Structure 1
Amino acid sequence: MKKNMENYVFHAYTKMLFGKNQIDQLPEVMNDYGKTVLLVYGGGSIKKNGIYDKVYTLLKGWNIIELSGVEPNPRITTVREGVRLCKENNVDVILAVGGGSTLDCSKVIAAGHYYDNDPWDLVLDGSLITKALPLVTILTLAATGSEMNKNAVISNLETNEKFGTASKLVIPQASILDPTYLFTLPAIQTAAGTADIMSHIFEAYFGKVKDAYIQDSFSEGILKACIKYCKIALKEPENYEARANLMWASSMALNGLTGSGKSHAWTCHPIEHELSAFYDITHGVGLAIVTPRWMRYILNDDTVEQFATYGHNVWDLPMEEDKFEVAHKAIDKTEEFFKEIGIPMTLKEVGIDDSKLDIMAEKAVRFGGLGDAFVSLTKEDVVNILKDCL
């Protein structure tokens, strides 16, 4: 049933410093928040590309405490360590340097600083977040949009759980986006990051609200940019135009621009969260595997118009009289694109068999609210989609 655009509040207040050498403005940005900084980063690539030394040069006179080693699927154990460091050192501000994993981890650390119990509580229930340390980010991967939104996803390997939480209080105060920082990314990270950006768009684009023309037009433009510039970035890693457009696509895909007025439960993200909770796979890879299978599974008389429009406006397919033909071609184009950019397209290729499909499907439906998704899904539906992914 068609729904009208819902009421919404759009407030994207993060100060975005975009372009070459914007890191030079870091002291001015950080001056607003205090002199004791928790520097959070991942596996150490920022030491190879020079960002680490640059931060220390620019923040001479600041008291910097480090939390390194944030995992690709950030773990609650790392969040707990960050909270401990913040409390012991009376940290004023967090500086997160990295991709979405580092930023997400930092968000929950920022909230956990003011929380007396286990920060896992804040992952399970974002309403428990009542205060947070200010957060500044330096982005090194175009993917999650975490540099400009309220969301964070954290894994608990002890319980095989991976959940998203959200609070306006953890939205970054400022984010530095220098496209040159993407030049040295491994190809699979560029590809998986692009798949993540596109999935954020798909989750909002395919919905029951049909009159959000502006939002959907933004979505189609961002999808076309991803399709065009990911392939260029893979062939020419230091192509500034490609990197800049992918970086901005990441921020625009999940800051409320495309999803405002179109609320409903997401589908592919909750399913993928279970895959990476149990198997610790790369998030964007899992999304790319699931997405075209989900699209085919939900294609029906009610959804065909939207998939045909997607094919026409994004993939430039001629609008045939047979809408199903256009829709199928659009879904095929989506899967072919993910293959072309080098993403493995079956679960078996990433080490996942059929042994845990039932439990993953059950948890995806229970925790993801898939009954309220664009097309309502049961546990059996999710099992069938995952079987198609094998």
Structure 2
Amino acid sequence: MRELFESTIERLLSDLCTPDLVHEAESGEWPAALWRALEDNGFPLAGAPEVAGGADASWADLYVIIRALGRFAAPVPLAEMIIGNWLLEQAGLGARSDILSFASETSLTIGEGRVSGGLAQVPWGRFADSVVALAGDNAGQTHVVLLDVATAERVRQGTNIAGEARDHLSFSAAAVVMSAVLPPHLADDVLLAAGAMARSAQIAGAINALLEMTASYAGERKQFGKPIAAFQAIQQQLAVLAEQAAAANVAAEAAFAGADQRLPMFSVAAAKVSASEAASQAAAIGHSVHGAIGFTQEYALHMLTRRLWSWRSEFGSSTFWSKALGEHVCAAGSADFWPMLTNPELQDLSTTQ
């Protein structure tokens, strides 16, 4: 299934997710044709059970889909929809086929089937039909809630530096479409972790594309009568870029491989730290090798680097996740350090965003 997903999504995005389409999306236009093609191929429901119209794919299978979104800078909430449907299924609410996003930064309260509060930095919020979030009640329980975006009292539009929609939604006694108590095997920061895992995969895909673009340019651009790739300084930078691409891919894929009903928080934290740090180095090297052309609007390099700069901070920066990892390691102590690295049961992290 993984090979089928990878070949199909790569071919689809290669054909449809062109630089012109990304530019139009950054100007505020919804890429309807791209989304329709993704729906026709079943990607929004890829992780849902077969009875819900999905492929019942594992996180390990879904990795190649989400990585491809980063590789082609796809301006659609496919990763967010996969995560939202996964949480709805975990809560017993069932997957949705309408455009779905989720929010990890919330101040929602729920009572008598209605919610009030706000959702911050909702990916593609203005384009979504519904949004998944967590809300607390007066008894101290956390609920998974599905909200109709149309019931938001206010939608304050915003974007990240890549031009991707990151909106704030406010609700006042809005009716809940569906809700259920958060399953006990999931922590209150489950959406933060899921978002961090997805962004790690997208960063890995974007760095892979950046590496290909930069190596190709270095092989074509000539200086002093020979390609700049022949110069040792450029070779060194390309080697470091390849190292960062490999590190980000391995870390992100490890997190996806260990995910099931419960996300591997230790691996997710390690993946987000590795990917975020790789994003910074990769973007710097990409622009350094390309020189002045890399800063022009007409050249596609910025579509990748602006996303790397944005995604490295979303759902927890490298500093945030490094702190969570460091505190967990220190709390375990020297005697439990090696067992903690080798035993997933000792790797539970608690985070505070």
> Is the TM-score greater than 0.5?
no
Higher strand residue share: 2
**TM-score range with shorter-chain normalisation?**
under 0.3
TM-score (norm 1): 0.26
